């Protein structure tokens, strides 16, 4: 029994100790800002574009894929079958173009510590990435999509979205969103009035996805949470131990 526990602990340590770099997809377009946003956050990343598509090998060797804001960009480097097979962690899909509004974003000018929009967008993006990596496997953060309304996502995810110039005011966070940590230290007001705060909304999604954030009526952000690998492993150990104890009592 001691040997089994030791092996399980080593497996848990190995799964948590390995941290792969971030993978970033930049679709280009007139307001492409994801690379600047990563610089703002001080995050090293491997870049993918329409010329260098995201592959299953990429997703296997990275713990997070961040897809930047899309306005007239080229999203052909994102394959729905690759995402369906390779995204195995937490997922956050949002209508916010948070990369545009971070300190080094397209329309923000020089970094300004006193700029409330820059501060909120930077915190939101950072915490969204932390959420996506918290579930183990390879997580995904996909930012606002004006042009294609997330049509590059796997059809099995059941995502129905609308893109465009959609809204400024955020009305509230759902409990699932609060539990995720994405909005820690943020209020709906801080997520509003970004000079067009969101460019995509969601009307339908598949099993496992939950609404995180809403405007007056539309859903702005949704998320998918998977059990952490450690929780799955410990749960399996618990089931095995219960079965072993029952068998012993039956003898």
Instruction: Say if 37 falls within a structural domain.
Output: yes
CA triple 118-140-189, angle to 5 deg: 30
Give me 230's structure tokens: 């450690």
Q: How far is CA 188 from CA 57, 118, 214, in A?
A: 38, 15, 9
**What pLDDT, on the 0 to 100 scale, is given for residue 35?**
94
First to last CA, the chain: 19
Whether the Cβ atoms of residue 88 and residue 65 lie closer than 8 Å to each other: no
Neighbours of 3 (CB within 10 A): 7
Task: Annotate 37-48 with DSSP letters as a single string.
Answer: HHHHHT--EEEE
Q: What is the tally of structural domains in the chain? A: 1
| Higher-confidence position of 75 and 242 | 75
Positions of E strands within the chain:
22-25, 45-48, 64-67, 91-94, 139-142, 160-167, 172-173, 198-204, 209-214, 219-224
* Residue 136 belongs to a domain: yes
d(CA 60, CA 85): 10
Of the pLDDT bands very low, low, confident and very high (cuts 50, 70, 90), residue 251 is low
Domain annotation covers residue 160:
yes
pLDDT tens digits along 134-154: 998 999 999 999 999 999 999
Helix 116-133 × helix 34-41 angle, to 10°: 90
Classify residue 248: in a domain, yes or no.
no
With contact defined as beta carbons under 8 Å apart, do 219 and 241 qualify? no
Residue 250 lies in a domain: no
CB atoms inside a 10 Å sphere around CB 212: 26
The whole-number average pLDDT for the span 28-43 is 91
Q: Is 235 exposed, middle or buried (0-12, 13-18, 19+ CB in 10 A)?
A: exposed
Decide if 93 contacts 142 (C-beta within 8 A). Answer: yes
Averaged confidence pLDDT in the chain: 84
The answer as to whether 240 is a domain residue is no
Please report, for the domain that includes residue 177, its CATH number: 3.40.50
pLDDT in tens, 39-75: 888 899 999 999 999 999 999 999 999 999 999 999 9
Does pLDDT of 28 surpass 80?
yes
Does any domain span residue 239? no
Answer for the pair 191, 120: CB distance below 8 angstroms, yes or no: yes
Is position 198 within any domain? Answer: yes
- E runs forming strands in 19-102: 22-25, 45-48, 64-67, 91-94
Q: What is the mean pLDDT of residues 91-107?
A: 85
Q: Which domain holds residue 138?
A: 20-229
């Amino acid at each position: 029994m001691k040997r089994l526990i030791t092996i399980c602990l080593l497996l848990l340590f190995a799964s948590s100790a390995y941290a792969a770099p971030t993978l970033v997809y930049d679709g280009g377009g007139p307001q492409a800002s994801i690379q600047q946003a990563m610089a703002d956050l001080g995050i090293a990343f491997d870049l993918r574009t329409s010329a260098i598509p995201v592959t299953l090998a990429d997703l296997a060797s990275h713990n997070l894929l961040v897809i930047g804001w899309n306005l007239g960009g080229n999203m052909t480097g994102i394959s729905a079958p690759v995402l369906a097979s390779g995204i195995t962690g937490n997922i956050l899909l949002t209508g916010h173009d948070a990369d545009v509004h971070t300190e080094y974003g397209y329309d923000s000018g020089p970094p300004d510590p006193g700029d409330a929009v820059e501060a909120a967008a930077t915190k939101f993006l950072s915490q969204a990435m932390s959420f996506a990596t918290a579930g183990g496997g390879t997580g995904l953060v996909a930012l606002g999509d004006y042009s294609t309304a997330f049509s590059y996502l796997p059809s099995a995810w059941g995502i129905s979205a609308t893109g465009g110039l959609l809204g400024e005011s955020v009305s509230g966070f759902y409990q699932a969103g609060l539990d995720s940590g994405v909005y820690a230290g943020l209020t709906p007001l801080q997520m509003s009035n970004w000079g067009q705060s969101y460019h995509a909304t969601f009307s339908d999604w598949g099993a496992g996805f939950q609404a995180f954030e809403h405007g007056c009526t539309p859903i702005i952000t949704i998320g998918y949470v998977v059990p952490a690998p450690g929780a799955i492993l410990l749960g399996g150990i618990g089931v095995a131990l219960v079965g072993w104890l029952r068998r012993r009592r039956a003898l």
